[in-house]
Amino acid sequence: MKVVFFGTPQFAVPTLENLLNHPDFQVLAVVTQPDKRRGRGNQLTPSPIKTVAITHNLPVWQPQRVKKDTETLSLLREVGADVFVVIAYGQILSQEILDIPKLGCVNVHASILPKYRGAAPIQWCLYNGDKETGITTMLMDAGMDTGAMLLKATTPINLLDNAQDLAEKLATIGADLLVETLIGLERGEIKPIPQDNTEATYAPLIKKEDYQLDWSKSAIQLHNQIRGFYPNCITSFRNQPIKITATAPLDPTYLQELPSEIQEYLHKESDRSTLSGSPGEVVGIAKGIGAIAQTGDGLLILREVQLAGKRPQSGWDFVNGMRLRVGEVFENING
């Protein structure tokens, strides 16, 4: 089967590599976003997908706007692909492009559709505390993730999974599901199933304000926000911005899902009723782990933080390095 692959970030790499290593597929070309300036040196950097494509000597097309780029449109028509595979490409495809390949355009989407249509399904399912997510392959139409569904695969979400962990897990699942989908589609063994639009939910692009922590929220809400929008959630400490990158709700409800050192702490420190304060206040320090902060409902232990301009550090290193004291307060950035 002849394939043109549309994709950009690391999330799409396992799928492209699966196709390249599979004897039933020939990747004719790769379409990816233009190189972007990144890092302190502001150097032009290729996308992860482009890097893989170059390694395999594949043609790489990088239109600024694929719908309007006449050269790319001509190449897409001329190349003779059976199918276009699209995964986290980053641009909307026109109906003109969707109509080119004979089997259509197959998308790999990181949610159990019709839940979490849109740009950030992994982040929002974590933010909402979902216990399960997955991958859906679908035939693309002109809407935003509204096409007929082909195959699905699910996976549980663990309490300590963050957006990066879950993306890596789903990328592997998606790579295998896409191969199964294409083979089944070519053989006529898969019947596309229309989505029920009444059950649709949306996962919009994440905004700057979504990263700001509000300590009046509950411990589990803050934990889900921090892991969902990893590694960018921010608060203020000693009048300086600081990122909180890993936490755990200090609650026996989640005992079996907590790291062993926190389980041991909960067993040893059975009387946590003495730990209380105002939202954001450091009410205790767990030796070897990190600071314990009061929230609007429950306690949150800070397992990893990142000071401005520094690398992430363990919660315990932060306690020692800052000589943190009980009674100090993490404050809302906008408050």
List binding-site positions for (6S)-5,6,7,8-tetrahydrofolate: 111-114
Backbone phi, psi, residue 133, to 5°:
-145, -165
Query: How far is residue 230's CA from residue 163's CA, in Å, rounded to a whole number?
Result: 6
Angle at 224 between CA 219 and CA 163, to 5 degrees: 155
CB 184 within 8 A of CB 21: no
Contact 312, 304 (CB under 8 A): yes
Element (H, E) at 138: strand 132-139
**Encoded amino acid at 203, one letter:** A
Backbone φ, ψ for residue 155 (5° rounding): -150, 145
Q: DSSP string covering 63-80, please?
A: -SSTTT-HHHHHHHHHS-
Q: Contact, 193 vs 111, CB < 8 A? A: no
Q: Residue type at 183?
A: I
- How many angstroms separate the CA atoms of 250 and 266, rounded? 8
Residues at the annotated binding site? Answer: 111-114
C-alpha distances out from residue 306 to 73, 111, 237, 243, 317, Å? 45, 30, 11, 5, 11
CB count in 10 Å sphere of residue 92:
13
Q: Cβ neighbours of residue 221 under 8 Å, at least 6 residues apart? A: 295
Helix (H, G, I), strand (E, B) or coil at 11: helix
